[in-house]
Every structure is written in C-alpha cells, then in structure tokens.
Amino acid sequence: MAPATLLEARQLTVEFTTRGRVVHAVTEVDLDLAQGEVLAIVGESGSGKSQMLLSMLGLTAPNSRVKGSVRFDGQELLGAPEKRLNQIRARKIGYVFQDPMTSLNPYLSIGLQLAEPLRIHKKLGKAAAAAQAVEMLRAVHISEPEQRMRQYPHQLSGGMRQRVAIAMALVCGPEILIADEPTTALDVTVQAQVLSLLREARERLGTAVILVTHDLGVIAELADRVNVMYAGRIVEKGTVEDIFYRRRHPYTEALENSIPDLSDSRATPLVAIEGNPPDLSAVPAGCAFHPRCPYRLAMCDQAVPPLEAVDENHSKACFYQGELGRGAKAGG
Amino acid sequence: MTREPRGVIATEAEAPLAAAPGRSLWQDAFARLRHNRAAMASAIVLIVIVVAAIVVPWISPYNYYTPQWALLDLPPTLRGWHIFGTDDLGRDLLVRVMWGCRISLMIGAVASVVSVGIGVFWGAVAGYVGGVVDSLMMRVVDILYSVPFIPFVIVLIVMFGRNLFLIFVAIGAVSWLDIARIVRGQTLSLRNKEFVEAARASGVRGPQIVWRHLIPNLVGIVVIYATLTAPAVILFEAFLSFLGLGVQAPMTSLGVLVSDGAGELQSFPYLLIIPAVFLAAIVYCLNFLGDGLRDALDPKDR
Amino acid sequence: MSETILSVRDLCVYFEIRDEGWFPEKKLLRAVDGVSFDLEAGETLGVVGESGCGKSTLARAIVALVPATSGEIRFDGQNLVGLDAEQLRQQRRHLQIIFQDPLASLDPRMTVGEIIGEPLRSFFPRMSAAERRTKVIEIMQRVGLMAGYINRYPHEFSGGQAQRIGIARALILHPEVVVCDEPVSALDVSIKAQIVNLLMELQQVYGISLLFVAHDLASVRHISHRVLVLYLGKVMELADSDAIYRAPRHPYTQSLIHAVPVADPRQARARPAKGLEGEPPSPIDPPSGCVFRTRCPYAVERCAAEVPALRQVGESRVACHLAEQIQSSS
C-alpha cells in the first residue's frame, strides 16, 4: 500500500525578470513527495533547485513569476494568501538553509530563536516554549542545552549552528522538512552527524524530507528517491537504486563520473564534463544539456525531450535511446 | 576508453572574438548611470550652467563691477542684455550671477580636489601601513575634527584678510577629514582582499601594491564623496559670504549675491531669488549626481 | 621523482590573540604547531584536515604570505624563514599560490592580460610589453583560456574560467612549487573535475610540485601522491594516498575516512557514515600530550602525558602512541 502523497507539484515554473532579461530558474517541474520518504534533488548551482524550493513556500523574490501548481495536504500553495502560508511555514513545512551563519539571527540568542516558532504557531507561553526548545536541542545532540539557550550564533561552531537550524525547522513537528544543501558548508565529520540527525528525524518523527544536494554520498545514504535537475528542468527521476545502478540520462552519468570517489586512486581518470553550466537567462535550445553531452544527436537542439518512463518508478528526459557507459569509470 | 587530455576546454558557445575589449566595471557603471534620469538631468543642468558661466561674461558687453548710475534697480526684462535686471548699483545681474557661479564652482572644485588629494593620501597610507602609524595618523584626524570649524576660518580670515586663495585653502584643509576616514576604512578592507595577497605572492612591492591595486579600487568611492563634498563646500562659502567674510567686493559669489539680495527682498525680490535659484540648482544637481554615482558604482547589482 | 625540492621542519605559526576584559592576557593561537615534511620534485602532496586545523595557514606560510614564527622552510638550500624582505621577494618566483575563491583573488579593475602579466613585471621589469603579451597568451592557451579573452575583466568570467586565470598567473614564472589552497571548493560540481584534471596535466607538462590543500578527501586522494593529515596544527599521519585510504593508521584519519558517505546505496545502507563526537578543541588552549586525545576512542593515560612523535609504522608515518595496536580498518 503506497503511502499517501503529501506534496504534489505540477508544471512548476519560476521566472525572474532582471535588467531586461528573463531568467528561467525552474521550468515545468513535476514533483511528488510521499509521507515519510526522503526525496533528493540533485543539481549544481544554477540549476534552479533553490528557487524551486523557495517557490513552494512563497518565499521567492518580488520580481519573480511563479506558475503551475503545488498542492500540500489537498491545498494549493501557489498564490495562497500570506496568512495561510504563514500557518504552514515552520508548522507544517520546515526549511533549513544552506548557510547557518545567515539563516540564524546574529542578534538574538539561540533560545529566543528556537522558541519563536513555538510561540507563534503553537501559542505556547515563554516558559513552555523554552522547555520544549531545550528538549529540541537535546534531540539534535547539542551538549549542555540549557547553557546553549543563552548563547548567540557566533559563539557556536558551524556544525552546531546547522544543528540549531535543523532544530528550529523541526521544533513544531512539521510533516515535511526541506533542506537546501544542509551539509555543503560543513566538515565531513560534522556532516556525518547531521546526516544521522536527518535519518533520526525521519525514523522517529516520520518527517518527509526534500533534500537538495550535489553530494552523491549523501544521496546514497539518505534518499529513497532522486530527481536530477539541470537548467531548471527535471531530467531524470527514480528510486535511489535506479539512479545509481541503472542511470539513463547522460547528465546523471557525467556527474557521477566527474566526482571522485574515495576509493578511486590517482590512476582512475576523472572524466570532466565539457563546457560550463548554462546561463539560465540564455538556456540552449532543445535539450539544455546538449552542448555538453557526449551522446548528442542531431535532434537534441530541436526540441526539449519529454520525460518518458523507463521503468515503473524511473523516467528520463532524453532522446538518446542507446546504452550509456561510454564514460564509465573503471569498476564503476 | 582513451582519455583525451582535457586541458583545453572550449565549446562552440565560447568561440573567441579576436581580442575583444572587455566591458570594464567603469563601463558597466557608466551604463547604469545613464539610466538614472535624475543623475543625467543633473549632469546636463550642471554642464549648461558651467558653459554659461564661462561664455556669458565673455560675450556680454557689461561687466560685473562697473556701476551704471542710469540703470539702477532695473527689473528683469527680455529686451537687451539685462535678462536678470540690474542691482542697486546698476550692475548687470546676469553677468554678476554668472561670475558668482564661476567663483562658487571654482571654490567647489578646488576645495574638493585639495581635500581629496590630502584625504586619499592620508587615508591610504594609514590604512595600508596600519599599526602605530595608523593610530597616530587617525588621532591627528580626530583632533582636527574637534577644532570648531567656523571660528577657525573666521580667525584665519581676520588675521590674513579676505583673500580668495585663503578661503580655498581654509575650506580644503578642513574637508579632507571625512575623505581620509573613508579611504582608510576602504583601504583596510581592501588590504585583506585576496587579490592584494595574490599581488604580494606575485612579487609586487608595497608601494606598487598601493598604486596599482589599492588606489584604482578606491577611485569609485572617492569620486562619490568628492561630488558630495563639493556642494557642502559651496554652501559653506555662501554662508561665509552671508556673514560678510567671503570674497571681497566688487568680486562676487553666489553667497554674496544672496546676502545682498536678502537686504532688498521687499522691494526687488529678483535680486535674491535669481542667485538663490542658481545656488540651489548647483547644490541639488551635485547631490543628485553624487547619489547616482553611488548607485552606479555599487556592485550589488551584479 | 626523488629529488627533494622543499623541506619543512618544525614549522610553527603562532598568532597573538588579545583576550577580552579589563586586563587582557596575551594568548597564543597555535595555528601550525611543529609541522615537518618533504616535498619532492613533480610530486603532489595533499593536505587534509577539518576547519581550524591550520591547513590554510600552512599554505600561506609556505609562500610567505603569513610570517612563520619558527622552524625551517628550505628551498634550494635556503631557509625562507627569517630572510629579509627583498631576498624573500626574490624567492617568490619559485613558490606560487592558487587561491580558493577565484574571483576574489583577481583585481576587478585589471584586465586578464594585466593580471596574468603582473608577475612578469615584478621580476622582469625590463621585459617589453609585446614580449609580455606573448608570454601571457602562451600560458593562457596552456590553461585552456582563449587568447581573445586577454582584454576582458574578471567579472565577465565564470568561476571555473576565473580559476584558470589564477592558475595562469601562478604558472607564468614557471615556479617549482605551487601551493593550491582549496582550489576547487568554490567551484560548481561539474567544473571541479575540469580544474583537477588541468592541474594534473600541468604538473606533468611543467614538472611542478603541488601542495594541494583541501577538505574534500576524495579530490585529495585522487590528485595526490602522498597525503598529510593535520589536526589542530599538528601532523597526525603522512603516507601514500593509497595507504591512507586502504590502511589508515591514525585514529583521526580512520574517523575521517569513515565519515565520508559512500556513493553507493547498498554499501551506504549497510555501513552508514560515522561522525566524530564532540567539537575540535580550541587552538588557543590545546589539550596536553596528543591533541586528538579528547575525541579519540582509544585514548589512554600516556596520551595525555606525552606528545606522540611522528614515526614510521607499516607504510605510514603516524603520530600515535598506539599505532601498532590499532587495527587499521577502512
């Protein structure tokens, strides 16, 4: 019995007009998130992934145009009045930003910031909110939580700040946690701690997670399903095993081949992807990846390839029908 | 699979234009400035005033100092040369206002140049050398700040007489303080930028770093503050003139004209209004231009 | 590949920190605390460690952007520590650096040609502009930049291209040693590989030695011949990059390796990445004896009393009292 769908996005499109040019940050994205599952979105900077997440909560910049539909719990989020969105933010959908230094207010103590969502959304009094905040700090494995409540963000290390940010996002017990590159700025040992935190959140609270990252190791550890984004579009979707063992899109393959794995020695060549990531105000015609694609065909600059099913849960947007593996790493 | 050396990465999308000139930050900023209508309008008005101030006294048959007893207190008229009328000594107001503009603009320009010259040098050295030298230099600035400016200038003028040159020097000597502080702050932040470290790693010597890397990156902010210093200076001169301490009669400045005109406000209002309008226009335009420059040079937009 | 080109002995870089309060004490921040290693011609030595371990400071100390407090940095028979300003400046021809943030390391008001050509002006002041231009174009093409870009400005380039400009500038003097301070950390994921490959290729062509400082273990493993593991300014382990991965001997190195998530779902589920508990201690007040002991699962009394020396154990050089007993697993 498939778990219920919590979040459903259809044809989500986000555009910005700046200085006379139109930036197509997100184009016609379809996305589904089931209860309790971890969905990973892979894409590099400039793939529009952050804008996609922000648009779901109505947090994009004023000069943006958002089209399409995002339904949460049966309700349409796009264009919803601020009041309704505010009830959902933090209470139902928590958000963790990439850089904890900028997402935490440097002038307020940790305790105040952590208690804020509780007081707003759950209408708790100061003391009750503070008590729950301490529990939350304990839950994210921050030592001496009572003392930490009075400290300020600059007194904590990067890893601790990110854990506080996660605590803030989870404090009201939301159904969905959106995490935008939560571990990119962190040391690898701290990253491992944060990953296990996210796993715990899923196991103990049943929170569904949308995780945006370009770290394949993180995806392999946490994700149930993966969506690969390039130039604002989803180019491949599938379960985590589909994406790692049965990938069908040249970009997915190119990405995996260009990222070194700890088990690769000096002898294993890194196959770099040619060219540069696309400028979202001047996306190449047809398939946006075609200028960099080793499998490109004549038709690839003529039309945008639609997402077609490869398997039950696996689909790709690519005209090339043959086998991949031209760029496979030895033993990959 | 053979691995091609991927040292030279080029795609068709990056086909080179033969050594195309790049678009420097100045060009970018200038383009932004051009879109700022207030700034552009101000620039045009200023240019018109400057040209008029230069040309009109040349071509007019009247000068600014010869009294014409037959033509006392004429109102503005469109016939003949007395477009602005004459003052209580029969001197043509148009020419006097133009001379006033000349003097005020000169004072603004010279004082700004002097203050920028001293301020940039002081601030850049203090900021780059740092340490004890920086502390000492900035303490000097602090002490000078606390000198009451107006009494100081008055004392100078009383001691050395009402010399135009002295006024330039007095004003310039005090207005460099702001610029010095700002330049020092900028230098401090630039000094730690990686491209300065990179220059050191490339073997560039200290003074060359200041000249080649720090100063060009300071120009932007200095230009902004210079355009904002000039109106302050001009107004200050007007104030001095109002107190009777400005340029010597029969030479005139906008401040003198305003001061004289204020005395005749009841009977001949144009004697006050016209120079006041010019003074206000110059100060407004310089301010708008300075604001526009600040917006244009702000790299946040990229 | 056996000629030693750079020899570092007991390098220490300490910073004075003024404490808060009415009667501030002067404290010492030991950013680099007794690091020794040799760098051979044509070799890449990777330096890894987490934030605050001192690797960036080490990188800058080697190219004399940060003054060393004590120790030796021997290049070509000369000790760079303690040289006077002009002698040091002369040595800069041989030791260059590439920075982490490609755009920040380029003067925004200078053209690409001027930026790359600047080192030539410092050391060959009599070289004509035309000759400089020829050399600049030559090195630009070598690093994959179109000659036509020579009059462009840094802000017109992407991160990857800007880093190539930085590399061109570092190489134009044909230095023997190039220190790379996290050269790919700020780059897009799909560009990192291009730059790593470029550096490896340039090393082949020019025979340069690279000191590759980074926190991404996988990149370091890929590009380096040997790897140095730093913690709180001290060397924990120094070994061939294969040995570091296959058989890490120091507990800290083992923790680092275990913390990297494996890019393979089945393996990752079976053996998830394991973090390290606690926080790194402050470099102002480091623990006595072995600095890692506060987070080490194997710590014993001796670890608090005695600083472990770097010694050969199996294939690696390790600074740990218990190196022989600890199972080296990966």
DSSP assigned state of B92: B
Contact A245, A311 (CB under 8 A): no
**A302 CA to chain B: closest CA distance, Å?**
16
The pairing of beta strand A38-42 with beta strand A208-213: parallel
Chain B positions touching A291 (Cβ under 8 A) are 11-13
Residue range B7-33, pLDDT digits in tens: 333 333 343 434 567 777 777 778 878
pLDDT at res. A84: 86
Tell me, yes or no, if C106 comes closer than 8 A to chain A by beta carbon. Answer: no
Look up residue A85 and give its two tokens: 């969105």
For A269, the closest of B3, B11, B14 (CB atoms) is B3
With CA atoms as reference, the chain C residue closest to B220 would be C109
Instruction: Name every chain C residue with its beta carbon within 8 A of the beta carbon of B195.
Output: 104-108
pLDDT of B230-270, one tens digit each?
888 888 888 887 777 777 777 888 888 888 888 888 888 88
- pLDDT exceeds 90 at position B163: no
CB contact under 8 A, A274 and B13: no
Q: How confident is the model at residue B20, as a pLDDT? A: 63
- Chain C from 57 to 116: CB within 8 A of any B CB: 60, 63, 65, 89-90, 92-93, 96-97, 99, 101, 104-112
> Is A293 in contact with A253 (CB distance < 8 Å)?
no
Q: Residue A83 above 50 pLDDT?
A: yes
What strands lie across the sheet with C316-318, from one edge to the other? C95-98, C177-181, C209-213, C44-48, C226-231, C234-240, C316-318, C311-313
Question: Are the Cβ atoms of A259 and C160 closer than 8 angstroms?
Answer: no
SS3 for chain A is: CCCCEEEEEEEEEEEEEECCEEEEEEEEEEEEEECCCEEEEECCCCCCHHHHHHHHCCCCCCCEEEEEEEEECCEECCCCCHHHHHHHECCCEEEECCCHHHHCCCCCCHHHHHHHHHHHHCCCCHHHHHHHHHHHHHHCCCCCHHHHCCCCHHHCCHHHHHHHHHHHHHCCCCCEEEEECCCCCCCHHHHHHHHHHHHHHHHHHCCEEEEEECCHHHHHHHCCEEEEEECCEEEEEEEHHHHHHCCCCHHHHHHHHHCCCCCCCCCCCCCCCCCCCCCCCCCCCCCCCHHHCCCCCHHHHCCCCCCEECCCCCEECCCCCCCCCCCCCCCC
- When pLDDT is cut at 50, 70 and 90, the band that residue A4 belongs to is confident
A38 touches chain C (CB under 8 A): no
Question: What stretches of C107-223 show up as alpha helix (H) in DSSP?
Answer: 112-123, 129-142, 159-171, 189-206, 217-223
Residue A249 pLDDT > 80? yes
Tell whether C264 lies on the interface with A, counting CB pairs under 8 A.
yes
* Residues of chain C scoring pLDDT < 70: 1, 19-21, 327-330
Distance CA B144, CA B176 (A): 10
Stretch 6-65 of chain B: residues touching chain A, C-beta under 8 Å:
6, 9, 11-14
A101 in C contact zone (CB under 8 Å): no
pLDDT value, residue B73 = 79
Answer for the pair B186, B168: CB distance below 8 angstroms, yes or no.
no
pLDDT level of residue A332 (50, 70, 90 thresholds): very low
Q: How confident is the model at residue A326 (pLDDT cuts 50, 70, 90)?
A: low
Q: For the residues A159-179, what does the mean pLDDT come to?
A: 88
Where is C317: in which H helix or E strand? strand C316-318
Work out the number of other CB atoms within 10 angstroms of the CB of residue B245: 18
Mean pLDDT value across chain A: 86
Compute the distance between CA of residue C82 and CA of residue C90 in angstroms, rounded to an integer: 14
Please report how many Cα atoms fall inside a 13 Å half-sphere around the Cα of residue C131, on the Cβ side: 7
| pLDDT tens digit sequence for A199-244 | 888 888 889 999 998 888 899 999 999 999 999 999 999 999 999 9
pLDDT of residue A237: 94
Q: Is the peptide bond before A278 cis (omega within 30 degrees of 0)?
A: no
- Which domains does chain B show, CATH number per domain? 28-58+93-301 (1.10.3720.10)
Q: pLDDT value at position C329?
A: 52
Greatest alpha-carbon span in chain A: 67
Q: What angle do CA B295, B300, B301 make, to 5 degrees?
A: 80
Instruction: Say which CATH superfamily domain C4-231 falls into.
Output: P-loop containing nucleotide triphosphate hydrolases (3.40.50.300)
CB proximity C166 to B under 8 Å: yes
Order of strands across the sheet with C70-75? C26-40, C4-18, C70-75, C78-79
**C-beta contacts of B127-132 below 8 A and 24+ residues apart:** B127/B183, B127/B184, B127/B185, B127/B186, B127/B187, B127/B188, B127/B190, B127/B191, B128/B187, B128/B191, B128/B206, B128/B209, B128/B210, B128/B214, B130/B188, B130/B191
* Structure confidence by residue, pLDDT tens digits, C241-260: 998 888 899 999 999 998 98
The set of chains that have 3 or more CB pairs under 8 A with A is B, C
Per-domain residue ranges of chain C: 4-231, 252-330
- Give the pairing of strands C177-181 and C209-213: parallel
The whole-angstrom distance between B17's CA and the closest CA on chain C is 6
Q: Do B10 and C146 touch (CB under 8 A)?
A: yes
CB contact under 8 A, A260 and C245: no
Closest-CA distance of chain B to residue C56, Å? 13
> Which residues in chain B have their CB less than 8 angstroms from residue A284's CB?
13
Nearest to B9 among A19, A275, A327 (CB): A275
Residue C10 DSSP class: E
What pLDDT, in 10s, does the model give residues B194-203? 899 999 999 9
The torsion of the CA quartet C282, C285, C288, C293, rounded to 10 degrees, works out to -10
pLDDT tens, residue by residue, B95-124: 889 988 998 888 888 888 888 888 888 998
How high is the pLDDT of residue C313? 87
Residue C272 DSSP symbol? -
Distance from chain centroid for Cα B194: 32
**pLDDT at residue number A200:** 85
Contact C101 B202 (CB under 8 A): no
Q: How far apart are CA A161 and CA A153, in angstroms?
A: 7
- The answer, for B2 touching chain A at a CB cutoff of 8 Å, is no
- What is the bridge-based pairing of β-strands C44-48 and C70-75? unpaired
pLDDT category of residue A182 using cuts at 50, 70 and 90:
confident
Judged by a CB distance cut-off of 8 A, whether residue C144 touches chain B is yes
Q: With beta carbons under 8 A apart, name residues in chain C contacting A261.
A: 218, 262-263
Chain B hits for C194, Cβ within 8 Å: 6, 9
φ/ψ region of A213 (left if φ > 0, alpha if ψ in -120 to 50, else beta) reads beta
